[in-house]
Amino acid sequence: MAISEAALKQRHGSDTEKRNNPLGINNFFSEEQFARLEELMYPKRGEAGSYLFWEGEPTGKLYYIRSGKVKLRKSTAEGKDFILSILQAGDMLCEPEDGMRAVHSFSAEVMEDAELGVIQWKDLEILLYRHGDFAVRFMNWMALMHRVTDSKFRDLLLFGKPGALASTLIRLANSYGVACTDGIRIGLKLTHSELADIIGTSRESVNRMLNGLKDEGTIDVRKGRIIILSLEALRQICHCPVCPSCPKEVCRI
């Protein structure tokens, strides 16, 4: 199947950012397979603060992030918001129809101005029918996304709020960390309120826990960026084993 000139230009323009995300969906496919997926995309821009969709709206589209960041939010009946994930360039936002419901179970907020590739779910289904090799790779990617979600719930539920915060910092380091002279600097700037929404607690609790980690020499905060000074100390708090069963592809935000 020939690749259109527009698709080639879009791919070239996003190559740098995709390479910066080794966990992106493009890494699950060969170049030819991913080119098939790109042919289905039409471009969309998202301004910071806007929403791609709201919880309860109809599904039917997938969003490939070429640049920018997208925050996934879940609201409770009491009005409490939780941050489920923060996606970056190279990630795919996918909530397929399952035959029982056809509405989104969360909202997608654009954190930074974003360039997106939008795919109609019906078009993807045709691609899955026609190319078995592509379908297998796509199933592998979806299975990994389920493992990521399961591991987040495990960490949030089993080891209390300190364990949930430690786990979140490790995941942020794996997803957005940059090595520096004295540790790992988390390139994504988050407020204490946003960290609280990720682990399901109050901003004041996060502030106390972060100050405790600073006093212990586990982390530091410089110019609004968190620097992890002792990754091992965080692992001990959330009982995080270093083993093949929990690779970085799973331990991500």
Q: What is the pTM of this model?
A: 0.83
Longest dimension (CA), the chain: 59
| Of residues 243 and 184, more confidently modeled | 184
Report how far residue 3's alpha carbon sits from residue 38's, in angstroms, rounded to the nearest whole number. 9
Could you give the percent of the chain with pLDDT greater than 90? 52
The band of 139, judged by pLDDT with boundaries at 50, 70 and 90, is very high
Of 49-63, 112-126, 147-161, 236-250, the poorest mean pLDDT is in 236-250
| Of residues 120 and 75, more confidently modeled | 120
Judge whether residue 232 has pLDDT over 60: yes
**HSE of 159 in the Cβ direction (CA atoms, 13 Å)?**
20
Nearest to 233 by CA among 203, 215, 213, 249: 213
Judge whether residue 208 has pLDDT over 80: yes
Of 17-31, 62-76, 163-177, 190-204, the poorest mean pLDDT is in 17-31
Of 5-14, 180-189, 190-199, the poorest mean pLDDT is in 5-14
Q: What DSSP designation does 175 have? A: H
Q: What is the pLDDT of residue 200?
A: 87
The band of 20, judged by pLDDT with boundaries at 50, 70 and 90, is low
Q: What is the pLDDT of residue 11?
A: 43
The band of 229, judged by pLDDT with boundaries at 50, 70 and 90, is very high
Q: What is the pLDDT of residue 101?
A: 64
Of 17-31, 97-111, 165-179, 192-206, the poorest mean pLDDT is in 17-31
| CA 251 vs CA 23, 25, 147, 150: distances in Å | 10, 15, 9, 10
Q: Kindly report, residue by residue over 30-47, the tens digit of the pLDDT.
A: 999 999 999 999 999 999
Classify residue 173 as left (phi > 0), alpha (psi -120 to 50) or beta.
Answer: alpha
Question: For the chain, how big is the Rg over CA atoms in Å?
Answer: 19
Q: Kindly report, residue by residue over 91-123, the tens digit of the pLDDT.
A: 999 887 665 568 888 999 999 999 999 999 999
